[in-house]
Structure 1
Amino acid sequence: MTWFAGLLILFGLSVPIAVGLIAIGLGFLTFDGRIDQLIAAQRVATGIDNFALTAIPFFLLAAELMNRTGITDRIFHLANCLLGRVPGGLGYVNVGASMLFASMSGSAVADAVGLGRIEIRAMTQAGYDRDFSAAVTAASTTIAPILPPSISLIIFGVTSGASIGGLFLGGILPGLLMGLALMVVIYLHVRRRNYPPGPKIPGREILCAAAGAFWPLMMPVIIVGGIWTGIFTPTEAGACAVLYALALGLAYGTLKWGDIVSTLFESALASANILFIIAASALIAWLLTMGQVPLHFAAVILDLSPNPYVFLLFLNLLLLVLGCFMAAAPVIIMVTPIILPAAVAMGLDPIHLGVVMVLNLMIGLITPPVGLCLFAVAEVASISPLRLIRALLPFFVPLLASLLLITLFPGLVLFVPRLFGFAN
């Protein structure tokens, strides 16, 4: 575990994640002396030599286009028309809009930065306190990488060999469960604070909002429906999402040709950051495999307890800790090859394992010291991360409860994939 301690030290010194991973890998090869360091360069390069990973820049570009073209505004307006009249309705709208946006982008950070600005502004203007508004926004961003499409599930699928389409379908019920659980906490908070209902919205305005959001809402139907029916692969679905978002932006007149260059630049920068981390993580994963760490780990776990639920609970604790210190991508790439042999030996379905792992790591997005969504939402809400952490504490309960439920009841993950032949 020396390499892991070294990683923590480097991260504590604010060394970029990918650079730290490569440094640890090269350091190991230098001290070991048995493997040519040129192989390390090859492993880094081949770490992203996978066609399925091209879905990542596509979905990131689609999310950026949706934020630039005002699609997020239309989604939020429709959700507000449907739920805004309920006491504390903007809290439910926040979660509902995040779930809709999640089914188009697959990126929690895109949800936090793009839709988060709209949600926090609307809630604070309606009289909700800023801390609560920011906490709801941050908690709801964790749903984005669970509902399809999901960048984190793509990474797990590439690393484990599991069906990406099956993983996408497996995230549907857990994502809905997380949304409902968050709404329960919002309901209890609203009752205690006695937030007033929003203004009554005329039926004609609701119809106009539904008409305005109709074509944006067709995007998840096209993405998920196309994967379900086998019309296109998840990677091709990402390309379709980009073309669809581009067509909507031009049709609405909200996307100018000059905006396309800056949109491409922003999404390319985000994609390069993720893919660089994946490439660097592949080096560490290869070194662990060369050292037969996965086989030794599987043997130790099976000796301790052959019960798959004990294994999953142990894995949950491990990932919850790792998620506090590392981004999701490197954890998935490094941990999956280690735990997959033991999981398969215990009869666990890789689709179930993948969704459990990703939900674990998404909770890490709102936990210090490396929580990307925690700091993104704090910046958007103009509050300190410490204030946001205090406001977030009640929302960890529904998220952890959702994690426990999908851990103990695999059917919550596997029901939909089984309907479409992706799981046994």
Structure 2
Amino acid sequence: MTTATIFITLIALMMIRTPIAVALGLASIAGLALSGISFEIVAQRMFSTNNSFPLLAIPFFILAGEIMSTGGMSRRLVDFAGSLVGHFRGGLGAVAILGSSFFAALSGSNAATVAAIGSVMNGPMAEKGYDPQYTAATIAAAGVTGMIIPPSILLILYGVVTGVSIADLFLAGILPGVLICVSMLFLNWFLSAREKVEKAEFQGAGEIVRTFKAAFWPLLMPVIILSGIYGGIFTPTEAAVVAVLYGLIVGWAYGELSLNSLYKAFFKAVISSAIVMFIMNAAGVFAWLITINQIPQSISAYLAATAGNQIFYILFVNVFLLLVGCMMNAAAAIVIFTSILYPAAMSFGIDPIVFGVIMAVNLSIGTVTPPLGVDLFIASAITKVSVERIVVSIWPYILVLIIDLLLISYCPPLSTFLVNVFK
């Protein structure tokens, strides 16, 4: 009875578009009332959820991304990407995709990536005659790498929930992120044949060198972060603080970080962090409630018995999480469903690092999938193209992302190669 009430309440609230944190909270309260558990446990579980040192990395990486965006670094990254791929067919679309991958390595957030790169690329693509619908779809899809390339916030959450090394997860996300970036570049090249726009001329190696020098310090940040973590110099949380300090220094050196822009960066970071933590708190209470009711254990045992083998279990997880990603915030989903899916994955001998990347890729695809795809709404706000029109153009990208997902799922070395190299 309690189990049914919890999930019926949650689904009903989500169907009427209640914010996910509120829906999780109300469903948890309904479950607590039926279980006869004191509501005081809500505050205790919220505190317990937040009482994690690695979790501190999230607000600092969010702040680092905002500072990098405000400090003019997104423009430099886009210019460098333009010197590399801007002369190919569909050049500006390719610049948006490659620039998003560069920026993802600074922010760890899909929303920040779409907002930063979309704001830079929308105007130039419109001036060159790109279809606004195609522009919006490309900008939205390119943001997917923000949840996979380190410092991915989703991988941090997965590491906190499971205890898997966040440093290993960061390394594991690099090659899958590169795969997704390259596959979208090829798709953009293919789709852009119908875009009646002129190709830019190749400016030569000199332009590549010039833009690389201009973007050198932003590009150096992920190298410092990953080498510092794997070199034992600092933890992922300390790395997030280093990223903030680094962004402040570079922004000041470029002369593009005023007190007003810094205030805006901190303000946006506080809002974004508060949203993530609010969702985390509500999801933490919900996850605890379903755990004490033995729901994850029962589901995990059932899945282990019915899936039969690793191949079918991974296929089930992919289908399930793709559906979840369409309807639920990725941060909430990673907290809730990791506890349900992780035990069965371990029983099938799936590498926990690979499983974390699989979950992150699945849920990142959800950010560009209706009806809840947050990247669609951000791209819509930037380009002034309706979400419905963006959805029509984004399906080719979604299909390519699903192919990438299958490659990542059934080719574990894509995730484990760099981890093994640096061990």
Determine if the TM-score, normalized by the shorter chain, exceeds 0.5: yes
Scaled by the length of structure 2, the TM-score of the pair is 0.96
Structure 2 letter corresponding to 1:312? I
Structure 2 letter corresponding to 1:180? V
Higher alpha-carbon deviation: 274-283 or 254-263:
254-263
Q: Is the 8 A contact 1:309 1:407 kept in 2?
A: no
The residue number in structure 1 matching 2:16 is 13
The residue number in structure 2 matching 1:48 is 50
Quote the Cα distance in structure 1 between the aligned partners of 2:413 and 2:306: 26
Q: Return the match for 1:371 from 366, 373, 381.
A: 373
Quote the Cα distance in structure 2 between the aligned partners of 1:396 and 1:299: 32
Instruction: Give the superposition deviation at 1:191.
Output: 2.9
The residue number in structure 2 matching 1:142 is 144
Quote the Cα distance in structure 1 between the aligned partners of 2:307 and 2:398: 29
The residue number in structure 2 matching 1:91 is 93
Q: How does 1:163-312 map to 2 (within 5 A)?
A: 163-193=165-195, 195-201=197-203, 203-312=205-314
Higher alpha-carbon deviation: 193-202 or 151-160:
193-202
SS in 2 for 1:366: coil
Quote the Cα distance in structure 1 between the aligned partners of 2:318 and 2:207: 46
The superposition leaves residues 311-369 of structure 1 with CA deviations (integer Å, 9 ceiling, x where unpaired) of 11111111111111110111111111111111111111111111001100011101122
Q: Return the match for 1:326 from 325, 328, 348.
A: 328
Structure 1 letter corresponding to 2:179? L
Quote the Cα distance in structure 1 between the aligned partners of 2:167 and 2:94: 29
Q: Is the 8 A contact 2:59 2:273 kept in 1?
A: yes
1:32 matched to 2:40: no
Instruction: Give the superposition deviation at 1:92.
Output: 1.4
Q: Is the 8 A contact 1:174 1:406 kept in 2?
A: yes
The residue number in structure 1 matching 2:26 is 23
Q: Runs (4+) of structure 1 moved beyond 6 Å? A: none
Q: Is the 8 A contact 1:84 1:90 kept in 2?
A: yes
Q: Is the 8 A contact 2:128 2:197 kept in 1?
A: no
Instruction: Give the superposition deviation at 1:204.
Output: 4.2
Quote the Cα distance in structure 1 between the aligned partners of 2:6 and 2:295: 13
The superposition leaves residues 147-177 of structure 1 with CA deviations (integer Å, 9 ceiling, x where unpaired) of 1110011001101111111111111111011
The residue number in structure 1 matching 2:105 is 103
User: Identity percentage over the alignment?
Assistant: 40
Q: Is the 8 A contact 1:155 1:332 kept in 2?
A: yes
Distance 1:209 1:157, change over 3 A: same
Structure 2 letter corresponding to 1:102? A
Q: Return the match for 2:353 from 351, 354, 370.
A: 351
Quote the Cα distance in structure 2 between the aligned partners of 1:202 and 1:305: 54
The residue number in structure 2 matching 1:67 is 69
Q: CA RMSD in A?
A: 1.4
Instruction: Give the superposition deviation at 1:178.
Output: 0.5
Scaled by the length of structure 1, the TM-score of the pair is 0.96
SS in 2 for 1:144: helix
Q: Return the match for 2:416 from 414, 417, 421.
A: 414
Quote the Cα distance in structure 1 between the aligned partners of 2:89 and 2:23: 48
Quote the Cα distance in structure 1 between the aligned partners of 2:307 and 2:325: 25
Quote the Cα distance in structure 2 between the aligned partners of 1:321 and 1:115: 27
Instruction: Give the superposition deviation at 1:78.
Output: 1.2
